[in-house]
A and B are shown apart, each in its own frame.
Chain A
């Protein structure tokens, strides 16, 4: 049974700070990693994906992957109140069309 674990939060950060969201996964063979943002009452929206060890930056977002530790994280720099949402981590394994989703971490950014 593939598992993806996230701290449910809420993670509270002040406006302008760096928010760090973490995710661990159980399947060592996993090769594809995704972060989704979900506002309350809305559907998940893809914000980042990463396939290789290391960092990947896109604007204020940085995804970090460490396959040896089976750990993936999302950093949000200069956090804004509009970043307040639940962030879902999703992991894909070779040979599978499906993704395994974590239950998400709620982020609250206070003005």
Chain B
């Protein structure tokens, strides 16, 4: 069974604070992803990584950075949190794509971040 865990279920931070969200997967997956999910906007990809130390911008990378020092761990960093970053943050992982087929993604439980 794929297990993706996230460091916190709920987090409250103040404007301007540096925020770290951590994600760990135990299935030796190459790909890891960070999304945010907001009502009416659906899932939006922030960053993804296809290998250790590799990262690619998603659709909304502004205000975020990521770190992947180990294969199983992918961190999302909010350098200076703002109120418009209040959201549900979801981490996911998937095996590396083989041939033409993309693989399914498995999600962690999510972190509901509130920035006040």
Please report A residues at the B interface, Cβ cutoff 8 Å. 31-32, 34, 36, 42-46, 49, 51, 88, 90, 92-99, 101-104
Q: Is the interface of B mostly helix, strand, loop or mixed?
A: loop
Contact of B102 with A by CB under 8 A: yes
Q: Is the interface of A mostly helix, strand, loop or mixed?
A: loop
Number of A-B contacts (CB under 8 A): 61
The distance in angstroms between the C-alpha atoms of A46 and B58, with both chains bound, is 21
The distance in angstroms between the C-alpha atoms of A38 and B109, with both chains bound, is 11
Q: A43-B90, A102-B42 are in contact. Are A97 and B97 (CB under 8 A)?
A: yes
Decide: B101 and A92 in contact? CB cutoff 8 A: yes
Decide: A46 and B96 in contact? CB cutoff 8 A: no
For residue B104, which residues in chain A have a CB less than 8 angstroms away from its CB? 34, 46, 49
In B20-64, the 8 Å CB interface with A consists of 31, 33, 40-43, 45, 48, 50, 58
Closest to B96 in A: A97
For residue B110, which residues in chain A have a CB less than 8 angstroms away from its CB? 42-43
Decide: B102 and A32 in contact? CB cutoff 8 A: yes
Decide: A43 and B102 in contact? CB cutoff 8 A: no
Contact of B100 with A by CB under 8 A: yes
